[in-house]
Amino acid sequence: MVTDSPPLPPRAVVLLSGGLDSAVSLAIARERGFRCLAVSFRYGQRHAAELRAAERVARALGADRHVVTSVDLRSIGGSALTADIPVPKDRAMADVGTGIPVTYVPGRNTVFLSLGLAWAEVYGAGDIFVGMNVLDYSGYPDCRPAYLRAFEAMANLATKAAVEDGRRICIQAPLIELTKREIIARGLSLGVDFGLTLSCYDPDEDGCACGHCDACRLRLRGFAENSVADPATYRTGVEDVPSP
Amino acid sequence: MVTDSPPLPPRAVVLLSGGLDSAVSLAIARERGFRCLAVSFRYGQRHAAELRAAERVARALGADRHVVTSVDLRSIGGSALTADIPVPKDRAMADVGTGIPVTYVPGRNTVFLSLGLAWAEVYGAGDIFVGMNVLDYSGYPDCRPAYLRAFEAMANLATKAAVEDGRRICIQAPLIELTKREIIARGLSLGVDFGLTLSCYDPDEDGCACGHCDACRLRLRGFAENSVADPATYRTGVEDVPSP
């Protein structure tokens, strides 16, 4: 009996930081039937714990393959995530997510998306999934929808795949308009094990979160709003989860 | 006597490969009065001789500073410049510069421009100079004017400097419509010492050019058309410079 072979699943590149948002983005790509190449970056961040988290998340969520590409943003400097600038702690929740914080890394998302584009061409992917969301990070210009649309337009003029082979690039940002509460709820519904993820800007060497930086505070509030305990490991002193 | 201090010169980032085109681009930026940060990349290219050439060119043309940023395009692969794919030699001149050659590195110019954008933000530059030209490299999608305009549009939505501080990013491609003959003539008129530059895709360890790859052949023809000897050092066998 001759049967048609099943159609090949479409391929996607998923930028995976090890944090909560990009894990949910990968889960959504998998739910939509994509075969996924998870791409993380060693960019001179002060801690490598997030790369270990990304590896765990890629495996747990069934990525085809996980790669880590090195790019030296540390020598460019200018951010609390790569230079010797203190990570802010215990900021008022009204300030978290507004203005451009010192954790902003100049050009970072553009560099990461560009490397994701290079991987997409080699892997044969048309879709690039990112975990950006505009509400929690309104201060970062390179997390906004207009920026992502402009990147996509550029990408479709940049590669041999797009220009000669007609493989359109689509930047997928499924979380772009979701709150942290909604992102966590979406992840829980897809079975994401958030205990594998690491959001903290200032974890210790074992990957335990500080509980006090903007990223921890947004995350803790998101879990509280879902009436679910955050399964991540915190070092100490997060009993005072900020109220929503 | 009180005198006004002279206005500060505007700042530019200049992407500098060590090749002929980007050297002329730097000379033009200097001629236009820019204070220049020259940026080169260690991207997993098979030979480091071009970085030594870039260092020489930056110094000779009066760049303020020269930096080398590392980004691992080799692990992404897909090109004769980073993977174990032979560099084509002695192709018919009618084929050189048409189609997309195996020396095309997926996403390379987008990654380089993105890192240039990050440097521009930190250095305080609004202008980014690139040596791309469309005539000799019509096969590379990321050397075309429409691509550069799309990158510029994206860049002006990407950075804190552009979005909050009103420092518009301008991608300057002064060679974009020049032939190699015209680029060499322009460089000669600006006093560029082309003996410092290295264009070859396949130089030996001493930085001697092969004379037979597409880049060497385009360059040699450009000098011949100017009736000037190419001051670069070739290994052997370039007596048969292709006729225009």
The whole-number pLDDT of residue B191 equals 97
Pairing of strands A170-172, B11-15: unpaired
- Per-chain mean pLDDT for chain B: 86
Closest Cα partner for A217 from A75, A108, A91, A127? A91
Q: Averaged over B7-11, what is the pLDDT?
A: 89
| Contact check, Cβ <8 Å, B76/A122 | yes
- From the list A77, A114, A150, the residue facing B157 with the nearest CB is A150
d(CA A24, CA A186): 7
- From the list A76, A100, A113, the residue facing B119 with the nearest CB is A76
| Contact check, Cβ <8 Å, B67/A75 | yes
Chain B environment of A154 (Cβ under 8 Å) = 110, 147, 150-151, 153-154
- From the list B104, B115, B162, the residue facing A111 with the nearest CB is B115
The whole-number pLDDT of residue A17 equals 94
A138 touches chain B (CB under 8 A): no
Of A154-163, B72-81, B141-150, the range with the lowest mean pLDDT is: B72-81
| Contact check, Cβ <8 Å, A157/B150 | yes
Residue of A nearest to B121 (CA): A106
A11-199 belongs to which homologous superfamily?
HUPs (3.40.50.620)
What percentage of chain B carries pLDDT values higher than 90?
Answer: 59
Chain A environment of B153 (Cβ under 8 Å) = 150, 153-154
- From the list A106, A115, A160, the residue facing B121 with the nearest CB is A106
The whole-number pLDDT of residue B129 equals 98
pLDDT at B151 over 80: yes
The whole-number pLDDT of residue B84 equals 60
pLDDT at B214 over 50: yes
Give every CB contact of residue A1 below 8 A, 6+ residues apart in sequence. Answer: none
Rounded to the nearest 10°, the torsion over CA A127, A40, A106, B44 is -100
A39 touches chain B (CB under 8 A): no
pLDDT at B65 over 70: yes
| Contact check, Cβ <8 Å, B154/A162 | no
pLDDT at B58 over 70: yes
Q: How far is A119 from chain B (nearest CA, A)?
A: 6
Q: Averaged over B38-47, what is the pLDDT?
A: 86
Give every CB contact of residue B11 below 8 A, 6+ residues apart in sequence. Answer: B34, B35, B36, B37, B123, B124, B125, B126, B127
Domain over B11-225 is classified CATH 3.40.50.620 = yes
More confidently predicted of A222 and B240: A222
| Contact check, Cβ <8 Å, B71/A117 | no
| pLDDT per residue as tens, chain A (244 positions) | 566 777 789 999 999 999 999 999 999 999 999 999 999 999 887 678 899 999 999 999 999 999 999 999 888 876 555 556 566 677 776 666 555 555 667 888 999 999 999 999 889 999 999 999 877 666 778 889 999 999 999 999 998 878 888 889 999 999 999 999 999 999 999 999 999 999 998 888 888 999 998 889 989 999 999 999 999 999 875 555 555 4
| Contact check, Cβ <8 Å, B158/A70 | no
Beta carbons of B18 and B215 less than 8 angstroms apart:
no
Chain B environment of A115 (Cβ under 8 Å) = 71, 76, 107, 111
Residue A155: phi, psi to the nearest 5?
A: -60, -35
pTM of the predicted model, to two decimals? 0.88
Beta carbons of A191 and A180 less than 8 angstroms apart:
no
The whole-number pLDDT of residue B2 equals 61
d(CA A37, CA A58): 9
pLDDT at B1 over 70: no
The whole-number pLDDT of residue A164 equals 81
Q: Averaged over B67-93, what is the pLDDT?
A: 73
Listed in sequence order, the DSSP H helices in A127-201 are 145-158, 160-163, 180-189
| Contact check, Cβ <8 Å, B110/A76 | no
Chain A environment of B73 (Cβ under 8 Å) = 118
Chain B environment of A114 (Cβ under 8 Å) = 107, 110-111, 113-114
The whole-number pLDDT of residue A235 equals 87
The whole-number pLDDT of residue B83 equals 58
The whole-number pLDDT of residue A73 equals 87
The whole-number pLDDT of residue A244 equals 45
B67 touches chain A (CB under 8 A): yes
The whole-number pLDDT of residue B244 equals 45
Q: Is A48 exposed, middle or buried (0-12, 13-18, 19+ CB in 10 A)?
A: middle
**CA-derived radius of gyration, chain B:** 18
Residue of A nearest to B79 (CA): A122
